[in-house]
Structure 1
Amino acid sequence: MANNTNGNNGLNANALRASLEQIAAANGIRRWDLGAACSTDISVQVDRGEAKQMKGAQRSSITVRVWNDEGLVGVTSTSDLTATGLERALSGAKEASAFGNPDDIPAFSPLATAPLAELDQPIHPPQGILRLLETLKEAESDLLSRHAAISTVPYNGLAERISERLYLNSDGACRQQQLSTASLYLYARAEQTGRKPRSAGAVRLAYGANDLDIGGCISEAAERTISHLNYEPINTGRYSCVFSPEAFLDLVGAFSNLFNARAVLDGVSLSNRNSIGETVAVPFLDIHDNGLHPANIGASAFDGEGTPTKRLALLEGGVLRHFLHSEATARAFGVSPTGHAGLGAKVSVGPDWFEIGATPGSGGGQSGLDRFKAAEPIVWIDSLSALHAGVKASQGSFSLPFDGWLIRNGEPRSIEAATVAGDIRQVLKAIIGFEGDAKVTPDGLCPMVWVEGLSITGEA
């Protein structure tokens, strides 16, 4: 089994458990758990054929929770997995439990010992920093040669990581997973006399650097950059838009509080406790969270509480079917945890990897695309920017700069500068169809998405 859940390599989960049990018994601690994430990272960046940055790092993050005799919980964090470090962490958590919040007491996930799915995740040995450097130099040189206007590749990076995750608790849970990943990012900048600089990029992920589609990343970055050279301003108005898979996944991810049970309980979600079963989108839209998808590089077999990861229907036929849950939120809603918890001082909840597409048998709204054979202008939104600043997640509104093209009579021309604004709830009900096969991206799986009547503001 390529995905190690038994601790045969790297950290020894069984030895760690034995040490924790011994320390806990000596300190009168009967109930505890531990979540750990450790990694070894190597990365390089280049600038015009020379090394710009070469980094290697070993990182570890360990969270320990202890329940006292009154049932209150104390939490500590450490990076020390030695016996001394663990004793200090357990003792600190025990002392902190006296100040635990009696209104928010987490418990062990009832699924922390349930069987896990087997993931086909081959472990690739690292190539080493010098090999990465030479590979990235060659990629940069190739990208610079694709067009005379491409002057620099200001943002780039090639990285390898070997990581390991653990979850242990005093009720017998013992989870462990090892993973190797590699990533490549190329972002080119093109300059022409008397014209504004134009930029675009591409990214690739794989289990090892040898498996990265370097040629595809270079070609995509070059093609996207070159396609923006011939630009013109756009008039402010309302347009029918087509979102690239990456752009639509970014938009849905920015408003994932719609599906987040923790956000619902905290009063910062677009949904409420009674929203399950409501129609929130067009009747041919499905959204699933599927961290186990084979194309999800970096998939986790379990979440921060040891709950198995699974495919979960969020929207089916436009109807809200499930929320993302941790143990605590699932208990509050009277359901089972869904495998979306992050362990920390306060347990968080978040999505893994979205699958977005047409409801089976619905036709996918494709008939709605016929109108775009007419001469009306269409805006193709390729990538969104400033998601951290332009999204009001708890209100549903957004105003985001984007890169894209204005299409007239089937001919695309890059847009000089513009923003797209709207409300995610209106967007989900204004989808009129999908186009093309679903594309695998780092954030999920999605086709191109057509949306009617969005507000586009051109540069003044």
Structure 2
Amino acid sequence: MPNIDELAGYTQASAERLGIKKFDIYGSSVDETSVQVDSGEPKQVKASNRSSVIVRVWNKDNTVGVTSTTDVDRDGIDLALKTAYEASFFGVKENVPDFSPEATAELKADTEATAPQAPVSQLIDTLIEAEKKLLQAHPAIKGVPYNGLSQRDFSRFYLNSNGAMRNEARSYTSIYLYTKTEQEGKKPRSAGAFRINRSLEQIDLQGCVQEAAEKTISHLDYEKIKSGKYRVVFSPEAFLSLLGAFSNLFNAQNILDKQSLSTPESLGKQIASPLLSVCDDALHPENIAAETFDGEGTPTRRIALITNGVLSNFIHSAGTAKRFNTQPTGHANIGAKVSVSSHFYHVFPGENASQEYSLDSAENIIFIDDVQALHAGVKALQGSFSLPFDGWIVNNGKKTSIESATVAGDFLELLQSIVFVEQEPELTPTGVCPKIWVDNLSITGE
């Protein structure tokens, strides 16, 4: 990627020469190295450098054309501006995208958080050592078929003809380990763990190995369960998976497209138990892959989505914010059509619970660690879900793995049925969340 000032300079010169008065450009570049291992040997080593740039141009009739390119030198930008200008005469005439009113607002977060990348040989040795420790953790663990260690340098920029100019750079390293067991007369069992941090040196490798081993071992002795209604405890990752699957609840573009469980009138209504509060917080200190601005240059920020069970805000682009007569929230992705998506969830207790619960003393509780097949088991516009899961039945702190089962219900009813939100948050790939206790969920066993 060229220097942002240099890019802005020759883009402005090209635009003036082409007679283009109004334009903006968003671009990103990813430099990534990843490794996988198998039985103590490297299985796959990949290195890639990917970049993409979106160029938007408005003509004198204020219709917009959009094009994309991977070439950001003078000739590439010049061609992209020409192409977008020609496309602008075929652009939509209603609800035309425009610059964000906050594209030149001050950014209130650090835009530089990088770390040097480790050599590939070090990545391989680190992952081989993690695999070795897992295989030694228990005789039943015969393999770690899914594993990966990757490091990524990520840079982004946004500029427009009104003088907006932003850029940022981040580094982060992640590891995942997913085991498989073999025991005579028993079904194979699996479990996994994930960690992310700024660099390889800061990754909690031992914690990842230990979590994967403990989960795997806990699934070795399993039992069938009876179908019925149970009190269910969702792990942070399982609850955030569901929340993400039904994120149309908060998405202003989905609401305008009538592809949401919410309507414009839903704001201010009680949609969940008063015990639950949820924010979208791109700048949360635990979010290693934080973004300080969105695809339209709007600064990201903390947005309260659910406050003590009440739907508090939607997430917006500049276009949806204008139609809702509010401010953009920093959640836009520009392209042929501007889309809206969440960044990083922060789930925490709302009102104080009348009674607190603990897995150490609870009886006949289903603890769901991980929900699966979200692509097939979620009907996002109906609010319903039916998903297989990995988990345990818990009695007074003793966890017994469940052989196989599905959890089903209506997501809005689930939110209303929350009876306890624990205090202790846990970091997951999509956010920070504690364990969530829900009453009367349908569990179907074998």
Give the structure-2-normalised TM-score: 0.98
Q: Which residue of 343, 348, 351 corresponds with 2:339?
A: 348
Distance 1:219 1:51 in 2: 22
Q: How does 1:300-449 map to 2 (within 5 A)?
A: 300-359=291-350, 362-363=351-352, 365=353, 367=355, 369=357, 373=361, 375=363, 377-449=364-436
Distance 1:409 1:373 in 2: 4
Distance 2:76 2:30 in 1: 18
Secondary structure of 1:175 counterpart: strand
How far 1:372 moved relative to its partner? 9.2
Q: Which residue of 34, 38, 49 corresponds with 1:47?
A: 38
Secondary structure of 1:199 counterpart: coil
Distance 2:226 2:73 in 1: 63
The aligned residue for residue 5 of structure 1 is none
Distance 1:281 1:36 in 2: 38
Is 1:269 equivalent to 2:260 in the alignment?
Answer: yes
How far 1:366 moved relative to its partner? 5.5
Name the CA shift for 1:438/1:138 in 2 (closer, same or farther; >3 Å): same
Distance 1:119 1:23 in 2: 31
Worse-superposed segment, 325-334 or 124-133: 124-133
Q: Which amino acid aligns with 2:116?
A: P
For this pair of structures, how many residues does the alignment match?
A: 446
Distance 2:149 2:112 in 1: 20
Distance 1:122 1:67 in 2: 34
Distance 1:306 1:186 in 2: 36
The aligned residue for residue 25 of structure 1 is 16
Q: Which amino acid aligns with 2:373?
A: A
Secondary structure of 2:441 counterpart: strand
Q: How does 1:73-222 map to 2 (within 5 A)?
A: 73-119=64-110, 122-222=113-213
Name the CA shift for 1:374/1:294 in 2 (closer, same or farther; >3 Å): closer
Name the CA shift for 1:210/1:121 in 2 (closer, same or farther; >3 Å): farther
8 Å CA contact 1:287, 1:357 repeated in 2: yes
Distance 1:321 1:347 in 2: 23
How far 1:87 moved relative to its partner? 1.1
Q: How does 1:9-24 map to 2 (within 5 A)?
A: 11-24=2-15
CA RMSD after TM alignment: 1.4
Distance 2:53 2:242 in 1: 32
8 Å CA contact 1:13, 1:176 repeated in 2: yes
The aligned residue for residue 291 of structure 1 is 282
Distance 1:295 1:129 in 2: 26
Give the structure-1-normalised TM-score: 0.95
8 Å CA contact 2:111, 2:292 repeated in 1: no
8 Å CA contact 2:361, 2:395 repeated in 1: no
Deviations 1:255-307 (A, max 9, x none): 11100000000001000011111110111211111110110011001011000
How far 1:436 moved relative to its partner? 4.6
Distance 1:347 1:371 in 2: 44
Distance 1:418 1:181 in 2: 36
Distance 1:129 1:346 in 2: 39
Q: Which residue of 37, 48, 59 corresponds with 2:50?
A: 59
Deviations 1:314-359 (A, max 9, x none): 1111111110000000000000000011111111101111111112
Distance 1:182 1:435 in 2: 29
Worse-superposed segment, 404-413 or 259-268: 404-413
Q: Which amino acid aligns with 2:68?
A: S
Distance 1:436 1:311 in 2: 20
Worse-superposed segment, 194-203 or 435-444: 435-444
Distance 2:300 2:359 in 1: 41
Unaligned stretches of 5+ residues in structure 1 = 1-9
8 Å CA contact 2:359, 2:394 repeated in 1: no
Q: Which amino acid aligns with 2:366?
A: V
8 Å CA contact 2:158, 2:165 repeated in 1: yes
8 Å CA contact 2:230, 2:442 repeated in 1: yes
How far 1:411 moved relative to its partner? 2.1
Is 1:34 equivalent to 2:25 in the alignment?
Answer: yes
Distance 1:276 1:101 in 2: 29
Distance 1:105 1:122 in 2: 35
Distance 1:370 1:199 in 2: 26
Identity of aligned residues (%): 50
Distance 1:54 1:374 in 2: 46
How far 1:392 moved relative to its partner? 0.8
8 Å CA contact 1:366, 1:434 repeated in 2: no
8 Å CA contact 1:297, 1:442 repeated in 2: no
8 Å CA contact 1:121, 1:179 repeated in 2: yes
Name the CA shift for 1:89/1:371 in 2 (closer, same or farther; >3 Å): closer
How far 1:409 moved relative to its partner? 4.1
Unaligned stretches of 5+ residues in structure 2 = none
Distance 2:101 2:147 in 1: 43
Secondary structure of 2:424 counterpart: strand
